Structure 1
Amino acid sequence: MKLDVLGLIGACSYALDCVEAELVHVTNKHAKRVAYMSVCTAMQMGITDRKLQDLAVCALLHDNALTQYIQEEFHNDISHVDSIKELPHAGAHCVMGEQNIKDIPFYTDVKNVILYHHENADGSGPFGKKWNEIPLFARIIHMCDLLDMVCLRKAVDFETWKKISEFLSKIRGTVIDDECADAFMDAFTGVPVMNMEDSQIEKSLWEKVPREKIELTFEQIKNIAGFFARIVDYKSPFTSTHSIGVAECARKLSGYMGFDDETVQKMYLAGALHDIGKVAIGNDILEKPDRLTDEEFDTMKHHASYTYRILSDIDDFDEIRDWAAFHHERLDGTGYPFGKSADELNECERIMACVDIYQALTESRPYKKGMTHEKAIGILEDMAQKGWLDKNIVLKTDECFSV
């Protein structure tokens, strides 16, 4: 199966930015600006082609483990404001992030790039590495990450270049090494800083780093899917492992129903990504133990449209996007976010709606024990009788998962 991996990584970076915006108050499109500045700096140093693509991926995913760190170290309690502000500089999330990206397909060796992306040139970083012990890509990403958070945090305007120049002059030789600082200044002299404004950044980045679809094995697809699913599920332990559970159910049921191998693989990926829009929903709603108010439920319903929006920027991904985003649509048109009716929902979209509910009912969560297969099927059959779910797919779900 061919996949626009860079586009998928770019979409994922938006999801990560949503989490960072909630936890450490960086602005949206932070990762794409870091990637753009990193790529421009690297090009000034003579780096091209696939090395440049790998740098872009690392920059887009530099804080991929932030939600994992929150959950494992702080048990998802973001009330420790002073600690939260320092999270991007904690060595623990660098270790986790380095481990996470091992399943992403790279062209070149990117060992220790994520691990050391918060090291300072003078050795005062989390691991005490000096600039000549740190991979070049890690040094570049560290510089651009700091510049974005300090100088582009609120807005990109015509005063931004002045702020960047002044800040870089203060930290060069201590936090940032001279080689990277010089390359950045040379790369951006005469280049409009407005290229990094929110409305321009995607265009600016992809002009520098061409995207191409890559042939992947199913094992590679599963690894990538697992990476993205963890980002969603780590945001809320209430739904821990839900995304991969849906992916496995979608794979098994579509295979049982006779779909070809490529469709089964796409269904697995769609299942893993179906809730990626939840990263844009606040944890005060995601983790509320009581019944949601009507207003809160309306907010929660937006997650499916966010999934649609996030996945729309990936080349030739419309089919998988729709399978993922339409999982709350109903055959009678009463679902959300688009109110699709039966003649607008294909079989794969109907399968996803069914397995999402089945997985949610049968999985255990901190506040409930999972239902038996028989009880879950009874609920699905009732929903089919109401005209919400496809009766035949509910029947196949019963047959497929009864043993």
Structure 2
Amino acid sequence: MNTLTDLEIDLHQALLMIARALDYVGIDDINHGHRVGYMAYRCAQYLGWEEKKAAFAYYTGLIHDCGVSSTEEHQNLVGYLVPENERAHCLKGYSELEKCPLLQDFSIPVLYHHTRWTDLIKLDISDYDKDIAAIVYIADRVDFLRNYYTQSIHHDAVTLQAGLISDHIQSQSGLMFEPDMVKAMCGLIATEGFWFNMDATCLEVFASERKDSQLQYCHKLSLNNIIQLARFVARIVDAKSSFTFEHSERVALLAKMLATDMDFEPRMCEMIYVAGLLHDIGKLRTPDEILNKNNRLTDEEYSKIRRHTVDTDFALRIFFKNSDIGKWASNHHERLDGSGYPYHKKAIDLDLPSRIIAIADIFQALSQKRPYRKERMQPDEIIREMTSLVENNKIDKDVFSFVQNDIDRYYCASIGAKEMNFQEI
């Protein structure tokens, strides 16, 4: 098996991957995190912050909405200057960041990035965290105003609305926003280049420049670090719908179990585990109402579901350039007879890790409640269903035999049974 196994990725790339995943939540409102990071960085520069602190503001801006998985929640946050229940996603983001040691430094600023300045100054947190939270808050709300004033015009015409945007944030100086940051942001708002550099291509170049200047974010991550980050992203994905709770985590575990039972070498088992964790990252772009629909999907709705595999492929190929992880992850709906999607690949095109993840995904989905199926299937029902897929040349017979021959163990892992410690596998 000819496999690309280079997992070289640094924290800069990882944070951009998270930002890309969060972009999917907005569906058509892309680059919100990138714009907030860009504006926070430019404002920090204007204020004369040291480069290291300005860079931290940029990266916090990139991932500030990591507590948002729902499209409806995203639309609420970008639809109002003071959104309803804005605290909920801050708490969720904080909780997820605290679970990921590599990202814990971002947790306090993310927790308070929607906190009014009058309340923020009273909190018992460091001045550094207050500054980061405050600068991300004003950048986030300026992006709301940018969208608000360009709803019916091209975004470049925002320069014609700069005065109105300045008036908005100046009216909240010392209330919602820190006064010096208001002055700095108003100075930036008055320049056309500030706005024009929020074009998608410009933001991509800007991100590349940050990597060149911030060496502390460019050290290659260990495989354990990558797994830690993949779990972080998986939890964001699985929070998209109550019906997909822990789906990515359990698909990853099942895939790793299969790879281990099939005597793959340990590093390959871990790579397959990462691919399992990230296989549904593209589903963040699927509208909530489609994922939660409790009856038959229309053809148009099903086409939107199918798109998630391509979005997964795109996101992972960017960041795992010399690895097959993206291919394995995005192949999970392909079938050996060419009837799958998105590329209708056939057996000759599907390597063993791809076949493993496809079987893990099917098995876990069948053992989970879904909108169209109120109860999970029992082991004997799953065996019958998947045996039919084998007989119709949809999935790999040899891979499935490992599940079939140890069905109780795989079923316990899939439903998260407490009596077995599967993390030791």
- TM-score, normalised to structure 1's length? 0.84
Cα deviations by residue, 1:353-380 (Å, 9 ceiling, x for unpaired): 1110011112344643222333323322
Q: Which amino acid counterpart does residue 33 of structure 2 have in structure 1?
A: A
Shift of 1:319: 1.3
- The amino acid that maps onto 2:94 is E
TM-fit CA distance, 1:297: 1.8
Q: Structure 2, unaligned stretches of length 5 or more? A: 1-6, 410-425
Map 1:113-132 to 2 at 5 A. Answer: 113-123=109-119, 129=123
Alignment partner, residue 207 of structure 1: 209
Deviations 1:151-202 (A, max 9, x none): 2454531543724444443333332223323444566757452110234322
Task: Show the counterpart of 1:254.
Answer: 259
Query: d(CA) in 2 for partners of 1:66 and 1:108?
Result: 17
Distance, in Å, in 2 between the alignment partners of 1:297 and 1:156 is 31
Residue matched to 1:338:
343
Distance 1:260 1:391 in 2: 21
Partner of 1:388: 394
Q: Which residue of 2 aligns with 1:173?
A: 174
Decide whether the 8 Å contact of 1:377 with 1:394 is kept in 2: no
CA separation in 1, counterparts of 2:327 and 2:408?
A: 28
Q: Residues 113-143 of structure 1, C-alpha deviation per residue, up to 9 Å, x if partnerless?
A: 11111122233x7x96599966211111011
Alignment of 1:373 onto 2:369: no
Structure 1 window deviating more from structure 2 (373-382 vs 144-153): it is: 373-382
Q: Give 1:77 deviation, angstroms.
A: 8.6
Establish whether residue 99 from structure 1 lines up as the match of residue 95 from structure 2. yes
Shift in Å, 1:271: 1.0
Aligned residues: 387
- Mean Cα displacement is larger for which, 157-166 or 5-14? 157-166
- Separation in 1 of the partners of 2:115 and 2:123? 6
Say yes or no: does 1:299 pair with 2:304: yes
Match of 1:139 in 2: 134
**Aligned to 2:133, what secondary structure does the other structure show?**
helix
Check the 8 A contact 2:97/2:104 in 1, yes or no. Answer: no
Structure 1 CA distance, aligned partners of 2:72 and 2:36?
27
Q: Is contact 1:256-1:400 (8 Å) kept?
A: no
Aligned pair 1:268/2:264, yes or no? Answer: no
Matched residue SS, 1:16: helix
Check 1:4–1:179 CA distance in 2 against 1; reply closer, same or farther (3 A cut).
Answer: same
1:103–1:223 contact (8 Å) kept in structure 2: no
Any idea what SS the aligned residue of 2:263 has? Answer: coil
Q: Please tell me whether the aligned partners of residues 131 and 177 of structure 1 are also in contact (alpha carbons under 8 angstroms).
A: no
CA distance in 1 between partners of 2:315 and 2:170 (Å):
37
Question: 1:51-96: per-residue Cα shift (whole Å, max 9, x none)?
Answer: 55543332122122133xx7xxxxx997x989x9554762233222
Query: Does structure 1 conserve the Cα–Cα contact (< 8 Å) formed by 2:237 and 2:280?
Result: yes
Structure 1 Cα separation of the partners of residues 104 and 289 of structure 2: 41
**Distance in structure 1 (CA, Å) of the matches to 2:227 and 2:104:** 21
- Distance of aligned partners of 1:179 and 1:260 in 2 relative to their CA distance in 1, 3 Å threshold: farther
Change (3 A) 1:317 1:137: farther
Q: Which runs of 5 or more residues in structure 1 are unaligned?
A: 71-75
Is the alpha carbon distance of 1:151 and 1:242 closer, same or farther for their aligned partners in structure 2, counting shifts above 3 Å?
A: same
1-side partners of 2:311 and 2:256: how far apart?
Answer: 23
Distance 1:77 1:136, change over 3 A: closer
8 Å CA contact retained: 2:26, 2:285: no
RMSD: 3.3
What is aligned with 2:245?
Answer: 240
Which amino acid in the other structure matches residue 97 of structure 2? I
Determine if the alignment matches structure 1 residue 47 to structure 2 residue 47: no
- Cα distance in 2 for partners of 1:29, 1:88 equals 22
Q: What secondary structure is seen at the aligned counterpart in 2 of 1:235?
A: coil
Corresponding residue of 1:284: 289
Q: Work out whether residues 56 and 209 of structure 1, in 8 Å CA contact, stay in contact via their aligned partners in 2.
A: no
Q: Does residue 156 of the first structure (1) align with residue 155 of the second (2)?
A: yes
Q: Quick one: which amino acid aligns to residue 13 of structure 1? A: A
Read off the aligned partner of 1:321 and give its amino acid letter. Answer: G
The 3 A distance-change label for structure 1 pair 47 and 264 is: farther
Q: What code does the residue aligned with 1:202 have?
A: E
Return the offset for 1:107.
8.0
Kindly, what percent of the aligned residue pairs are identical? 29
User: CA offset at residue 316 of structure 1?
Assistant: 2.3
The answer to whether the 8 A contact 1:63-1:88 is kept is no
Q: How does 1:315-354 map to 2 (within 5 A)?
A: 315-316=320-321, 318-354=323-359
| Residue of structure 1 in register with 2:418 after alignment | none
For residues 39 and 63 of structure 1, the distance between their equivalents in structure 2, rounded to whole angstroms, comes to: 17
Show the counterpart of 1:6: 12
The amino acid of 1:37's aligned partner reads M
The change in CA–CA distance for 1:309 and 1:321 in structure 2 (over 3 A counts) is same
